[in-house]
A and B are shown apart, each in its own frame.
Chain A
């Protein structure tokens, strides 16, 4: 793979390991061989169970990893390797290049400072915008994300706002910085469903209007399919399947993706219990030498437990599985034959 100069964010073969100071054994892997790229104005979904490495991936992209973590591979933002940025370059990248919407806004906003201070601080300190001007802009953006009476909100403290409102404040702070890339870490998980759709709508509109690239992390496969152009399904620190969102329903190939799709409730099929993938989610560090999903996979064979699968091109997506040809046997393969 060569560096794509048009890519906004390009992650190439990223492996992150964390040393455990208590144990003497080798550093435990958190992410293994993550590769993805994102064009300006594109939305990429990262989907997976807890501990599959979604957050770790975007934390690596902003250099927010714990100090004991070791990083291999490249994370390029507009062609510059983030992992090698020096102090001032890193600050500039974080200031104007990337913006992050955190999952729990209440924990990620300093509780002792007013909303106005939170929103304007970056403008005033990093961009040299006047305080009055910055406040006016903050009020305008608060209106944009659907908060009533922005002037009053700016004077309030975080604890005076509800979770949904605070999440919008966090999105507003990212918008004020006008980054070229937004990393949204489960921005709607703490919100109820109506607010969730509003917040998603806001993010989506801004991505379209301003051509901002967005990485959208969620547990919710349907939400990812609705918001993103492409979806990466993660399992145990690896991307097991990466394909266009519009294809995922029909053409998903990895057994894990199929399991996820199969375990959603449906309004067409009435059933007492939802179908579930057997077993429990694995972390990257728990996986053996082979495919991390082998223990829970109905199709698993010997090769799955001994050799880690490399990503292969299948049905216009990248899939990490040894058994694609067997699982998706003749009828499907024949139908897809021309495309592959």
Chain B
């Protein structure tokens, strides 16, 4: 059993490549930090100690303190919670709405596809940040209005890719074969088509997560999403007082974390959707060239070895 797990890790490493592995490990650590925040954080993130304001890195404060004497390391740790929660919700909602619509459109084609695709295009034309600003203007500042607005804006970002990939699958011969076996729409779409385009969906979701993280940090920086006393990377970056007084660490530390997270997600997303074996692409190529290329079987076995 142990060996089995180690083998899985080795395979995952091989398919992610060095950069992808580093990105995955980093994101895993950030996730762990968010989940175990109370255990990891050295102090209460909101504990003020004005006497210690703007102290540099020391044994007591690993990354020093901000203008109110709060421990920056602890705020980073707790900030990861809100900073990751927002994008998680955005991606979940965008996938939850976009993927079923895209699969539906891909299956039925014709006017259903035309309508859904045009709606996606329409929403795609709306800038997410502006939509979020509008939502905040209507419902007041806070994480939820921003998340809802970004979710809507992110639907086409994910769903357009899902739609394109699913349409390729829809015309694959194996879909016809499944239909002749007597399977219904739902079964074929969810268990076969969605499964085969899984890497594309996951990869795109990872990239979208990175963008959403950045967008929400921007909104928090502007004071429109997460509100000030709460620890959040975006809020922390917006602490311009520190900069004016010449202390760069309180601003730089969360900034670096945001950049590293987005970068890791982008690398990982590209790896997931691009670097792993892609049977769905292979099927398509086969379907088109079967008549011409006989030794394709050899090719597949070679790729598998």
Give the interface of A toward B (CB within 8 A): 62, 64, 67, 87, 91-96, 98-100, 102, 104, 106-113, 121-122, 125-126, 157, 159-160, 162-163, 173, 177
Chain B residues whose C-beta falls within 8 Å of the C-beta of A122 in the assembled complex: 181-183
Is B195 interfacial (CB-CB < 8 Å)?
A: yes
Partner of A159, one of B110, B173, B300: B300
Considering residues A96, A98, A121, which has the most beta carbons from chain B within 10 angstroms of its beta carbon?
Answer: A121
Binary per-residue interface labels of chain B (177-196) against chain A in the complex, 1 for a CB within 8 Å, 0 otherwise: 11111111001000010011
Given contacts A95-B182, A108-B177, contact A159 B296 (CB under 8 A): no
User: Which stretch (B37-45, B223-231, B276-284) binds chain A?
Assistant: B276-284
Chain B residues whose C-beta falls within 8 Å of the C-beta of A113 in the assembled complex: 192, 195
Chain A residues whose C-beta falls within 8 Å of the C-beta of B187 in the assembled complex: 125
Given contacts A67-B109, A159-B303, contact A108 B174 (CB under 8 A): yes
Binary per-residue interface labels of chain B (143-181) against chain A in the complex, 1 for a CB within 8 Å, 0 otherwise: 000000000000000000000000000001110111111
- A3→B110 CA distance, assembly (Å): 35
Is B60 interfacial (CB-CB < 8 Å)?
A: no
Q: For residue A97, which residue of chain B has the nearest CB?
A: B182
**Given A108-B174, A110-B192, A177-B182: 7 more A-B contacts, CB < 8 Å:** A64-B179, A94-B179, A104-B173, A107-B172, A107-B174, A125-B183, A126-B181
Chain B residues whose C-beta falls within 8 Å of the C-beta of A160 in the assembled complex: 301, 304
Binary per-residue interface labels of chain B (52-78) against chain A in the complex, 1 for a CB within 8 Å, 0 otherwise: 000000000000000000000000000
Would you give the shortest CB distance from B302 to chain A, in whole angstroms? Answer: 10
Interface pair B286/A106, CB less than 8 Å apart: yes
Chain B residues whose C-beta falls within 8 Å of the C-beta of A107 in the assembled complex: 172-174, 283, 286-287, 290
Would you give the shortest CB distance from B189 to chain A, in whole angstroms? Answer: 12
Would you give the shortest CB distance from B288 to chain A, in whole angstroms? Answer: 10
Interface pair A159/B304, CB less than 8 Å apart: yes
Interface pair B180/A64, CB less than 8 Å apart: yes
Would you give the shortest CB distance from A14 to chain B, in whole angstroms? Answer: 18
Partner of B297, one of A96, A162, A177: A162
Can you name 15 A-B pairs with beta carbons within 8 Å?
A64-B179, A64-B180, A91-B183, A94-B180, A96-B182, A100-B180, A106-B300, A107-B173, A107-B283, A107-B287, A108-B174, A110-B192, A126-B182, A159-B301, A162-B297
